[in-house]
A and B are shown apart, each in its own frame.
Chain A
Amino acid sequence: MSRLSRYWPLSPAIELPSILLASIICLIMAGVSFPVAAQSSESLTINQDSCLKCHKRNGAMFGLHANTALAIQCQSCHEQSGKHPRKGSSIRRFSSGSMTSVAEQTGTCLGCHDHETLAMSDWTHNVHADKVNCASCHQLHVEYDPIVGITAKDRSQLCRGCHLVK
């Protein structure tokens, strides 16, 4: 009898292992929790923010950064609204075409994310450093950042998007 089959309720005579198996499955199911997906997006603290009263059209905040435990607010990244909306705003916008300088955009992310840790996850962080804004590759409002788990081929194509010499 193999080691596995000892825990497999093939024979009805073996009562105890079958109970064990069921309980193990229950434990595993309870253990696998989805910290973000478990809550509906509206119930996340960040989506109760006053900004969202007007900015609903921009979509709600999902993903890891919306985790209530992190206590991140819109202002944590986009800065204080100031006189907005009565007067023009100077909030940070994270995109390649943004008025916010690339150094300021990357500086915001690097406030929490250590560049050495980033280098360990991918070498391209080192070369792009403060010269390319993070939003060129990353999205953090969506539930899952599409760059995580990208295929090798898509990754090469992403490089091509900027580096293509005509």
Chain B
Amino acid sequence: MDISKRQFLTGCGTLIAGFSIYSVAKELAESEAGVSVDQTQTIKYAMVHDENLCIGCNACEQACRQVNHVPDGVSRVVINRTGPFGEYPDQSYRFSRKSCQHCEDAPCVKVCPTGAAYIDQDTGIVGVNSDKCVGCQYCIAACPYQVRFINPETKTADKCDFCKETQLKQGKEPACVEACPTHALVFGNIRDPKSELVKTLKSKPTYRAKTDLGTRPKLFHVSTIDGEIVL
């Protein structure tokens, strides 16, 4: 078999070009499919806060404080109140829940230098391992939702973990959900189509905060209909 120099070089060039195109295309396809979403995960917890049902009683915050032993001065969940809107005596307020959004692409986890901030692979809950936390506060600076704080007792970063260590371990719903008198909070598995959470998401229009950052938060809000278009 006689191969000329020209034929050899052409063959090698084609091979290199083909391989490089394949590798670039593969990389593009991977990035388009999204960052490693585990499709086999059977539990992915999320929460809905219905701002129409919320009455601003703060029972959620009180229950959370008691169950998770959150000291005074800091809180894992805050109900922000704006208003009043309208004229007396027909005034109204709007309530918005401020707590950990349990992002799928959590900036706090990315910046944590010690691995204390983590995403639980079984549940999708963003947690804090206080044994590993050195209190550097990178996560507090990185969180776009500003829900993290330093627990004055443990001196480590703290935030909502959907009561992973307390209520969920006992097979109960998070403390805030149990405490809510108006069922404004719905907690459940977003992967389970039969769950109340999925039913709520399918029946009510919801929004999530700062989705443009690509954090993929899992705290859904049902927007206050008062002063909005009615679907």
Contact residues of A with B, CB < 8 Å? 115-116, 119, 123, 126-127, 129-131, 152-153, 155-157, 159-160, 163-165
Contacts and interface: CB of A to CB of B under 8 A. Distances in A.
Majority DSSP secondary structure for residues of A touching B = helix
Closest 10 CB pairs of A and B: A129-B89, A159-B57, A156-B59, A160-B181, A126-B91, A164-B181, A126-B84, A130-B89, A153-B62, A156-B57
B199 interface: no
Interface in B58-77: 58-59, 62, 66
Given A129-B90, A129-B91, A156-B57, 16 more contacts: A123-B56, A123-B81, A123-B83, A126-B83, A127-B92, A129-B88, A129-B89, A153-B66, A156-B59, A157-B59, A160-B57, A163-B55, A163-B57, A163-B182, A165-B181, A165-B183
Contact of A126 (B53, B58, B88, B179): B88
Contact of A152 (B62, B88, B90): B62
B88 A160 contact: no
Interface of B: 53, 55-59, 62, 66, 81, 83-84, 88-93, 179, 181-183
A165 B182 contact: yes
10 contacts: A123-B93, A126-B88, A127-B84, A127-B92, A129-B91, A156-B58, A160-B57, A160-B59, A163-B181, A165-B183
Contacts of B59: 156-157, 159-160
A65 B93 CA distance: 31
Contacts of A163: 55, 57, 181-182
A155 B84 CA distance: 20
